[in-house]
Every structure is written in structure tokens, then in C-alpha cells.
Amino acid sequence: MTTKAKILIAEDENIIAKDISRTLEKLGYSVLGTARSGQDIIQKAEALNPDLILMDIILDGEMDGIEAATKIMTSLEIPVIYLTALADDETLHKAKITEPFGYIIKPFDERTLHSSIEMALYKHKVNIQLKERNIELERERNRSNELLHNIFPDEIVKELKEKGSIQPREFPMVTLLFTDFQGFTSIASEMPPQVLVNELNEMFRNFDAILDGHKLEKLKTMGDSYMVAGGLPEENDLHAIRIVGAALDMQKYLDGRNRNLNYKWAMRAGAHSGNVVAGVVGLRKFTYDVWGNTVNIANLMERYSLPGRLTITETTYNLVKHKFNCEFKETVNVVGNGDLNTYFVIGEK
């Protein structure tokens, strides 16, 4: 059974209002009531929530029908059809500015009234559907943007949107940090899979928050390994200081966590500063990645490090020694790079 459309009438002449009501009921509509003034029609619209309002432009009181219609369509989103004997150009222009759903000149016939109401109701329904669709599209767009920003640095997202691709770029000086957990394989073998995932997820979520505070970029996680970059994609002179500060904060977080929980995690960390090439690889499941000798040396520093310690190369040491206390660790021979002096970071000065 089709539900009758509910209509309110704004008309300052009682006789005309009754005549319109009878006509509407004859056409199969439900008349919720009538109003003589603009304020009255607004109050009844708020209380009764009609499907449509037939609005005379001339009403009792200081507020005319055009002003009342503007308030109603703005706050309540109820379609309005003007029903008036005023047909001069100035009035028509003023009425059209409010974008009504119809304009009927008195006297009118039943066919004109009926077709105007049906067209207005249909147009309003379509508008509502379009609005809901636009809201859903905006929601999907926001989800997509959030996902992109979780995958890529902000600068890369901007370039991807503007150009549709990412150009590889060389950075003359950045600092890379690698971390992993000592004895991860042994610990993981003793844990239920879900517990292991939960442990890593909690720790990496806290690492992510630490990176945000130091304005650094997480590049990737590989099992228990965590890779961080400072100084890209936006170059800055604080990359080494930020990396070292973040690594110490990560270790401090783990120390506190280990005191309160059953599973104890010992993190090794290593960092090196130098040039890299950065870009996006792949057509599917692509990632923002870095390449170059700096990556290999930073990874090597993590492997040469000890549980609970951060090991850095002399290059990084020279960039942070004014800010952090360090102690010489050892000289290591790296294939293709010769002898490299390495240092433990003790803490902030």
C-alpha cells in the first residue's frame, strides 16, 4: 500500500486554504494542516515534518512566504512549492533565488497542482539519494586518504595525487635505523601465534607513536625487524638527532614494558647516516623504499649491536656527539667500505 504524501499549507486566506485542502485530499494526499503566518508554518513544519509545503508568498505577519521557505529549506530540508497569485517579474525572481521545488500561479487546475507536487516529491527524493551517495563517497575518499597516509609519507601522498606516480629521488644525507629483537625465533616458538602477533602489534604501535613525536618515517617492518628513516622525504638537518632520540625512547619504552609483563623483549638497534635513493616500487601492494650502501651499513650496525644498546657509525656519531653521550665500541671491517669506527649511544647529555 502506497503511503500518502503529507502536505502542509501556508495560506493567509482561510477559504482558499480549505479549497486547497479539499483538492489535495481528492488527489490522494494527506493534509497535515494549514498556517496563516510565516512563523506559524515554520513551527508546524518542525513539529509535523511534512513531505512537502505549499507556500503562499503573501502571509500574515512580518515574515513573507519566501523568507519562511528559505528558513525551512535550510534547516529542515523540506521541499517547498510556491502557490501564489503574484506573478510580477520582481517577485518571480526573488522566489526563484530560494530554489523552490515548484512555482504555481493562481488560479490553478488540479492537473497542474498534481503534476507539480509529484515532480517536487520526486526531485526531493533524488536530491536526498544524491546527498547520501555524496556522503558515502566522501566517507570512502577519507578512508582511502587515511590508508594512503598510513602507507606513505605525506609528501609522497601529495605527489601521487598530483602526478599519479612517484619519481625516484636521491637524498644526499639521511639517517636510517634498524631494530630487531634478540632471540626472537626462540621466543616466538614458545608463544601461541595470536599472542605473538598481539605482542608485536602492541610494541610496534608504540614505536609508531614515538616516531610521530620525533617526526620520523617508518619505512617497513619485516617480522620482528623495524626500519626507520630520518631526513626524507622532507630533508632536514636534524635527522640523526631525531633517529638517536627515537631509538633511545623505544628502548626506554621496552624497559618499562619488560618490568610489568611476563614476556621480556631485548631490542638491538643500529643506525648509519649517508646518501640513499628513495622511491615507490611495484604496481600492486607497492611500498616506499630506500636503496644504497647506507641501507646495508645501517642494517649491519643493528646486527653488530647488543641487546638494549644502540650502535652507530662514526658518520652518525659526528652528527650527534654534541647532543648525546657516546662511547667507542669497536672498529669493524665492512666489505667495500673498509674499516668503520662504531659507537654505543649512552644517553642524552
Among the listed residues 151, 96, 137, 150, the one whose alpha carbon sits nearest the alpha carbon of residue 285: 151
Among the listed residues 185, 189, 221, the one whose alpha carbon sits nearest the alpha carbon of residue 205: 221
Would you state the pLDDT for residue 74?
81
Would you state the pLDDT for residue 45?
92
What dihedral angle (degrees, nearest 10) is formed by the CA atoms of 198, 204, 210, 216?
Answer: -160
**Cβ(166)–Cβ(156) under 8 Å?**
yes
Would you state the pLDDT for residue 274?
94
User: CA angle 112-113-117, nearest 5°?
Assistant: 115
Report residues of the chain scoring pLDDT below 50.
Answer: 1
- Amino acid type, 60: D
**Cβ(274)–Cβ(294) under 8 Å?**
yes
C-beta atoms surrounding 55 within 10 Å:
28
* Burial group, residue 295, by CB count within 10 angstroms (0-12, 13-18, 19+): buried
d(CA 277, CA 293): 10
pLDDT in tens, 150-204: 666 677 667 666 666 667 788 999 999 999 998 888 887 788 888 888 888 899 9
Would you state the pLDDT for residue 1?
44
Among the listed residues 62, 128, 136, the one whose alpha carbon sits nearest the alpha carbon of residue 101: 128
In sequence order, the 6+-apart residues with CB closer than 8 A to the CB of 187 are 181, 263, 265
Q: Which residue has the cell 602507507?
A: 151
Would you state the pLDDT for residue 283?
59
Would you state the pLDDT for residue 70?
86
Cell numbers placing 141: 575518499
**Cβ(41)–Cβ(35) under 8 Å?**
yes
pTM: 0.61
Would you state the pLDDT for residue 76?
86
Would you state the pLDDT for residue 98?
56
Domains of the chain, each with CATH number or no CATH: 6-132 (3.40.50.2300), 166-348 (3.30.70.1230)
